[in-house]
């Protein structure tokens, strides 16, 4: 009996020893050098340790290690997922019941439990900065909670140093939540005087008063996120790269706009817009990967178009009348209905004719390779090369055009170029002063300044006519037009028929009629655009 028991124990012992071998192979921890000093005894560790190092997912690779978080993880005895779920639910309930202290405490626990779960940081930071902040009536308290969300993200980024999305969100919240809200003037001012040491890089010693602007701080965080991607190979996951990489330049543009709203013009305004222009062009020349596996430069659309036109021109030159001939051949192959649809003037086409004509036009298109195949034998090789190049450039141009729309590239490029000009800066300065005069009931001065401003704006619009029918990124021009009309009304004068910005005024009347005194304006302009249609059912 005793012998059997002894043998059983021996077998157990051998089994334990046998299990230690795979355990050691898989789980042996790595021994690493302290600091940067290599150590002769360094060992890469077991399979798991090596895989963690290879994929950069070991605790030390991910970011700071929090002893409290590790303790909580151990204390949950493997039920971390369940505990995280319960805490998530608890945070939601606390939010519903307006227990903000409870929300904060729960989010802290949640973060300690799941420090590498990026969605927790991002979702809950948004919750705090956007959803909880608005629950407060006092804008000081709202600002406090916006900051709490930002600090939460900053804490998250310390535990996840290779995660650009968290740093990107810090930039986004700092720039947009503070700079775009209805209370942006109050928030920006609070941000400027904020000396909260918990707000990293934001104390007086590290940042001059001049740089304490939410757009510039946001810009720095966006740049940090980009540096992570560029220098350390971090991934932006499913984020749109055009939005991601455009943010520093967009921040500069928004900063310049905010300066104008704050009444800061002249040199500072000019420098801000010049910097914005430089940054936007730099962004336009950046290598951008696309979903089509192409590398494009947004600023090179026009150059690509030119190269494409040249390639087509060279191709056509190899067989001068061939393209017309091919189009005629294709047209002859169309059905009578399609031909009839094409022959009908555009304005008179029925819906079906529009469809038929569109299909027919597509079928009449002469593809470059098709064209090259019909070129004389002697030039065919050259033709095929040119056709291939033209096709490639066509695709490239369409991809650039599509991706330009994502960030409204062309608009901002022209805007930066326009806003840094002397007339534009002067016009904005005068409009700002005119409004101040109007608010102080100095009507004559306000009128004079408005008229001077409009003259400068005329020069600007003449140079950049694409902005005639545009709000130019805000309400400044419609507000100035409305302000000027109010001044004249109070002076009992009609709106001048020879108004220098008549085209801009009409465009504003079409676009935003409610912001302008339409009846008063129509008294001066018989050709003014019609007023808005009242919705049905309204008196």
Cβ 179 to other proteins, closest distance in Å? 15
CB-based contacts of 19: which residues, under 8 Å, 6+ apart?
Answer: none
Q: Which is nearer to other proteins, 45 or 269 (CB)?
A: 269
- Of 109 and 433, nearer to other proteins (C-beta) is 109
Q: Smallest Cα–Cα separation from 371: which of 324, 303, 307?
A: 324
Cβ proximity to other proteins: between 182 and 533 the closer is: 182
Residue 186 as a binder of other proteins (CB under 8 A): the answer is: yes
475 is an interface residue for other proteins by CB under 8 A: no
Number of residues that bind other proteins (CB under 8 A): 33
- Binding status of residue 104 toward other proteins by CB under 8 A: yes
What would the x/- binding string for other proteins be over residues 140 to 159, using CB under 8 A?
-x--x---------------
Task: Report the residue from 50, 158, 192, 211 that binds other proteins according to the rule CB under 8 A.
Answer: 192
Q: Which is nearer to other proteins, 113 or 424 (CB)?
A: 113
Give the containing element (helix H, strand E) for 288. Answer: strand 288-289
Among 3, 182, 287, 538, binds other proteins (CB under 8 A): 182
Q: Cβ closer to other proteins: 74 or 358?
A: 74
- How far is 503 from 156, CA to CA, in rounded Å? 52
Tell me how far apart the alpha carbons of residues 317 and 95 are, in angstroms, rounded to a whole number.
71
Q: Is 440 in the site for other proteins (CB under 8 A)?
A: no
Rounded least distance, CB 447 to other proteins, Å? 26
Question: Whose Cβ is closer to other proteins: residue 214's or residue 247's?
Answer: 214
Q: Does 439 bind other proteins (CB under 8 A)?
A: no
Q: Which residues of 433-459 are buried (b: 16+ CB within 10 A; e: fewer)?
A: bbbebbeeeeeeebbebbbbbbebbbb
In the complex, minimum distance from the CB of residue 147 to other proteins, in angstroms, rounded to a whole number: 11
Our finding on whether 267 is near other proteins (CB under 8 A) is no
Quote the crossing angle between the two packed helices 139-159 and 118-126, to the nearest 10°. Answer: 170
Query: Three-state SS for 365?
Result: coil
132-140, 405-413, 416-424, 521-529 -> range binding other proteins (CB under 8 A): 132-140
Query: Is the CB of residue 89 less than 8 Å from the CB of residue 107?
Result: no
- Least distance (Å) between residue 112 CB and other proteins: 7
Handedness of CA 517, 519, 520, 521 (dihedral sign): positive
CB within 8 Å of 62: residues ≥ 6 apart: 56, 116, 159, 160, 161, 162
Alpha-helix residue ranges (DSSP H) falling in 173-240? 178-180, 184-193, 214-232
Of residues 3 through 42, those in contact with other proteins by CB under 8 A are none
| Interface characters, 355-374, with other proteins (x: CB under 8 A) | --------------------
Give, in degrees to the nearest 5, the angle at Cα 407 between 404 and 412.
Answer: 90
* One residue of 58, 106, 109, 219 binding other proteins per CB under 8 A: 109
Helix (H) or strand (E) holding 296, with range, is strand 295-296
Nearer to other proteins, 268 or 363 (CB): 268
Q: Could you say which of 68, 285, 303, 523 contacts other proteins (CB under 8 A)? A: 68
Binder among 35, 67, 345, 535 for other proteins (CB under 8 A): 67
CA angle 170, 125, 222 (to 5 degrees): 15
The dihedrals phi and psi of 31, each to the nearest 5 degrees, come to -105, 125
The site string for other proteins over 193-232 (x = CB under 8 A, - otherwise) reads x-x-xx----------x-----------------------
Report, in Å, the least distance between residue 12 CB and other proteins.
Answer: 26
Q: What are residue 487's DSSP bridge partners? A: none
C-alpha dihedral, 443 to 445 to 449 to 450, nearest 10°: 10
Of 246-265, binders to other proteins (CB under 8 A) are 262, 264
Q: At what angle do helices 164-172 and 214-232 cross, to 10 degrees?
A: 170
Kindly report the backbone phi and psi dihedral angles of residue 291, in degrees, each rounded to the nearest multiple of 5, phi listed first. Answer: -70, -15
Q: Smallest distance from the beta carbon of 192 to other proteins, in angstroms? A: 5
Q: Which of 80, 84, 86, 99 binds other proteins (CB under 8 A)?
A: 99
Q: How far is the CB of 351 from other proteins (least distance, A)?
A: 40
Choose the stretch contacting other proteins; rule: CB under 8 A; options: 180-188, 317-325, 364-372, 486-494: 180-188
Task: Give, for 289, the enclosing helix (H) or strand (E).
Answer: strand 288-289
Q: What does the binding site for other proteins look like in residue numbers (CB under 8 A)?
A: 67-68, 71-72, 96-101, 104-105, 108-109, 112, 136-139, 141, 144, 182-183, 186, 189, 192-193, 195, 197-198, 209, 262, 264
């Amino acid at each position: 009996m005793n012998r059997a028991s002894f043998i059983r124990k021996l077998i157990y012992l051998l089994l334990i020893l046998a299990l230690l071998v795979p355990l050691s192979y898989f789980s042996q921890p790595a021994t690493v050098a302290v600091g940067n000093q290599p150590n002769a005894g360094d060992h890469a560790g077991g399979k798991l340790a090596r895989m963690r190092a290879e994929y950069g997912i070991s605790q030390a690779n991910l970011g700071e290690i929090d002893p409290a978080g590790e303790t909580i993880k151990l204390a949950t005895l493997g039920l971390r997922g369940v505990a995280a779920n319960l805490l998530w639910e608890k945070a939601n309930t606390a939010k519903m019941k307006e227990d903000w202290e409870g929300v904060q405490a729960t989010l802290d626990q949640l973060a300690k439990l799941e420090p590498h779960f990026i969605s927790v940081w991002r979702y809950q930071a948004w919750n705090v900065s956007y959803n909880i902040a608005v629950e407060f009536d006092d804008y000081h308290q709202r600002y406090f909670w916006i900051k709490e969300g930002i600090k939460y993200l900053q804490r998250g980024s310390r535990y996840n140093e290779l995660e650009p999305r968290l740093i990107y969100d810090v930039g986004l919240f700092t720039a947009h939540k503070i700079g775009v809200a209805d209370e942006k003037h109050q928030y920006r001012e609070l941000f400027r005087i904020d000396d909260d040491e918990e707000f990293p890089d934001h104390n007086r010693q590290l940042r001059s008063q001049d740089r304490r602007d939410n757009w510039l701080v946001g810009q720095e965080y966006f740049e940090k996120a980009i540096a992570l991607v560029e220098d350390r190979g971090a991934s932006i996951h499913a984020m749109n790269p055009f939005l991601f990489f455009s943010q520093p330049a967009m921040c500069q543009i928004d900063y310049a706009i905010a300066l104008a709203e704050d009444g800061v013009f002249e040199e500072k305004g000019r420098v801000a817009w010049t910097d914005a222009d430089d940054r936007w062009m730099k962004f336009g020349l950046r290598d951008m990967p696309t979903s089509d596996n192409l590398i494009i430069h947004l600023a090179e659309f026009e150059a690509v178009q030119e190269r494409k036109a040249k390639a087509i021109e060279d191709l056509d030159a190899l067989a001068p009348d061939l393209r017309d001939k091919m189009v005629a051949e294709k047209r002859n192959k169309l059905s009578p209905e399609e031909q009839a649809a094409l022959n009908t003037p555009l304005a008179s086409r029925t819906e079906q004719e529009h469809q038929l004509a569109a299909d027919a036009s597509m079928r009449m298109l002469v593809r470059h390779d098709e064209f090259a195949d019909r070129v004389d034998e002697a030039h065919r090789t050259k033709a095929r090369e040119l056709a291939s190049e033209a096709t490639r450039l066509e695709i490239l141009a369409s991809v650039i055009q599509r991706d330009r729309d994502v960030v409204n590239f062309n608009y901002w490029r022209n805007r930066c170029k326009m806003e840094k000009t002397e007339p534009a800066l002067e016009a904005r300065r005068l409009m700002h002063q005119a409004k101040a005069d109007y608010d102080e009931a100095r009507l004559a001065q306000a009128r004079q300044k408005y008229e001077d401003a409009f003259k400068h704006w005329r020069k600007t619009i003449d140079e950049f006519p694409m902005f005639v029918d545009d709000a130019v990124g805000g309400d400044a021009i419609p507000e100035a037009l409305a302000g000027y009309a109010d001044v004249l009304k109070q002076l009992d004068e009609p709106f001048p028929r020879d108004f220098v910005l008549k085209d801009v005024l009409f465009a504003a009347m079409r676009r935003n009629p409610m912001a302008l005194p339409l009846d008063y304006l129509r008294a001066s302009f018989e050709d003014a655009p019609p007023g808005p249609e009242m919705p049905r059912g309204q008196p």
